[in-house]
Amino acid sequence: MEPRQPNQSESDFVSIVAHQLRTPLSGVKWTLDMVLGGTLGALSAEQRALLLKCYESNERMIVLINDMLSVSRIDSDKLEYRLVPTQILDLLDNVLFEMASSVGKKKLRVLFANKDKNLPRVLIDVEKMRAVLQNLLENAIQYTPKGGKVEIDFQVVGELVQVSIKDSGIGIPEEDKKNIFKRFFRAKNAAKMEKNGSGLGLSIARGIIEKHGGRLWFESKVEEGTTFSFTIPIAK
């Protein structure tokens, strides 16, 4: 069953609740920043480890609230889009640059099947598309074992550019495939890994891609990997 669309007052309510929740969470985050940063004195290793767990839990709550807000805004058409012709290869390079540390930690290889500099520019909202690329790449990195690889491909398909991100990760179990874009759903093998995630990222990514007039889909085999692909219109 598809989720019901929220009406305007429900969406405003979500925005207000998100704001009210973020304020005390900001206080906790900043307090822990100060304590962990040593501003208030040295910590024992055990104190530091426990406070880091507090910090991570607080970050998870902030991510969850941000994701809920994004979903609510997509549903109510409140998410504003400013479409500009953009070279998506450049945007992808920027996103990968930001993720270099997590790629390096896992000794992953990131390969481009086709990095054609003549790829036509696409009509996108850069910040929204950055969020989509971050989500798909974070998933690929998170669920690919150490030493694995992530392959990125671009193709022109008619009046669209198709982007594919293929990982050599754990894959999505057959019985979970139909639910993978559902909100708050997490595949069984992903949940077992105890990685941070709200189960909202793919739902948000699909909402953003569809708002651009494109489509997001995937193919996957357990223990072999997953390929997420999406299309977006070429700028005229």
Q: Do residues 196 and 56 make contact, with C-beta atoms less than 8 angstroms apart?
A: yes
Site for other proteins contains 84 (CB under 8 A): no
Torsion over CA: 120, 123, 124, 125 (sign): positive
How many CB atoms neighbour CB 17 within 10 A? Answer: 14
Q: Do residues 163 and 232 make contact, with C-beta atoms less than 8 angstroms apart?
A: yes
> Binding segment for other proteins among 59-67, 86-94, 145-153, 205-213 (CB under 8 A)?
59-67
Site for other proteins contains 30 (CB under 8 A): yes
Q: Do residues 204 and 181 make contact, with C-beta atoms less than 8 angstroms apart?
A: no
Q: Which of 3, 5, 33, 210 binds other proteins (CB under 8 A)?
A: 33
Residue 28 Cβ, how far from other proteins at the closest point, in Å?
9
Site for other proteins contains 41 (CB under 8 A): yes
Counting Cα atoms < 13 Å in the Cβ hemisphere of 56 gives 10
**Which of residues 132 and 160 has its CB atom nearest to other proteins in the complex?**
132
Q: Say which amino acid occupies 235.
A: A
> Binding segment for other proteins among 28-36, 44-52, 157-165, 192-200 (CB under 8 A)?
28-36
Site for other proteins contains 9 (CB under 8 A): no
Site for other proteins contains 212 (CB under 8 A): no
CA-based R_g, the chain, Å: 19
Site for other proteins contains 66 (CB under 8 A): yes
**Which of residues 25 and 83 has its CB atom nearest to other proteins in the complex?**
25
Site for other proteins contains 29 (CB under 8 A): yes
The DSSP result for 15-44, as a single string, is HHHHHHHHHHHHHHHHHHHHHHTTTT----
Site for other proteins contains 101 (CB under 8 A): no
Site for other proteins contains 65 (CB under 8 A): yes
**Which one, of 172, 207, 209, lies nearest residue 187 by Cα?**
172
Positions that interact with other proteins (CB under 8 A): 15, 18-19, 22-27, 29-31, 33-34, 37, 39-41, 62, 65-66, 73, 78, 80, 82
